[in-house]
Amino acid sequence: MKTVLLLQSGCGFHSDLEVSGVMRYSQGKGWNVKLVECGPAALSRFSRSSAGEISRVDEIIRLWKPTGLIVSPDISSYVLAHPELKDLPSVIWDSDPSVLPSGRTCVYSDAEVIAKDAADELVRLGFANYAYVPFDDDTHWSISRGRAFNKVMGQLGYDVSVMAGHFTPMCVSSHFKAIKSFISSLPRPCAVFAACDLIAEEVLTACRALGIDVPREIAVLGVDDDRAICENARPSLSSIRSNYEEGGYIAAQLLDELMRNQGKTVASRGFGTFGVARRASTRRFLQEDRGVVAALEYIRLHACEDISVDNVVERFQCGRRMAEMRFRRVVGKTIVRCIHEARIDQVKKLLINPSVDLTLISDSCGYRSLVDMRRVFKRITGCSPVAWRRLQWRGM
């Protein structure tokens, strides 16, 4: 049995999804997969956490005798320099392929796919002005996303204002001042693409401090769909949903190829997205109607709670017929259709995990039976839930 170690400096939103993808691939391979948290300090001294977790690399090697590694980029230089690990088949997670040492392989978020999603979401708003706010001035994925966004917007005939200068989110006060100054300088209305949700949230905070209406004057889009950030932002933050689980799956695929063909060079690969989770920060209509905006936000938050049209109509201060007419005039769809689309969006998120039962999915997404969910899913997507689930992993 092959033992694969996932060496990370810490757990969190991204790493949890990455591990899920690795585990899914490994199920068909019979691997013994171990997640180990370790940092640079752990490579030079022996230490154990209160739970007794082994964190010294020498101890890890002796205990697990790994045949392959998937390594976080922030510890890869330390780990892969270890004499007993440097020649093991290894994949670096979400690294910059352009600066990899010769013979190394990584999986990375595809900046071009992200930029296309950003352009599609923001251009539909009809703005003439666009901007990009990076994470900092030297992080590879932030630079790549900015370049790709500038390129795709240029192809569409738009210029992009890019926040420049030497800055880092670690200096919270000065970083926020820089963002605030940049946002205040932008022509309005303007659509702002931020390198990640953390930066997008700072953009929203700057807009509030400046008295700028979001999304009427400035629309804001982030990356990662970190719900802890996006749902608690004010207004709620639209975000591109990076497919980190797919990234984990691809990382395991690449490692499998390296372990089967030791000494062979394997090309790095990128992972894509699930499109955009649209929330209030980019929900802008040519016809302003606060009742419709409130109704859409209510649907987004409560669609899976077996809500009815009457529940949505309560967001309006008028009768049901007038409310439905206003809604359709602004959105171009019926209230019922939007409820079902919000539910199916959640169904798709759950379908990505093949271990989640369809009946459980239908129950948790507001459907009274699996038959109802299948009927609506096929009407909206053109295929059954099972067929859609299979399509997500075909060719990977």
Look-up: residue for tokens 């400046």? 210
Distance CA 249, CA 247 (A): 5
Q: Could you report the average pLDDT of every consecutive run of 10 residues in the chain (396 residues)? A: 85 70 89 80 42 57 90 82 86 86 91 97 94 91 96 97 77 85 96 97 97 96 95 95 92 95 90 92 78 90 92 92 92 93 92 87 93 95 92 66
Length of the chain: 396
Say what the pTM is.
Answer: 0.83
Question: Which residue segments constitute the domains of the chain, with CATH numbers given?
Answer: 3-108+244-271 (3.40.50.2300), 111-242+277-282 (3.40.50.2300), 290-384 (1.10.10.60)
In degrees rounded to 5, what are phi and psi of residue 276? -110, 135
pLDDT at site 144: 95
Residue 286's pLDDT is what? 56
Task: Find out whether 258 and 68 touch, Cβ atoms under 8 Å.
Answer: yes
Query: Using CA atoms, how far apart are residues 242 and 177, in angstroms rounded to an integer?
Result: 28
Question: Which residues does 185 contact at the CB level (< 8 Å), separation at least 6?
Answer: none
Using an 8 Å Cβ cutoff, are 235 and 212 in contact? no
Peptide bond into 97 cis (omega under 30): no
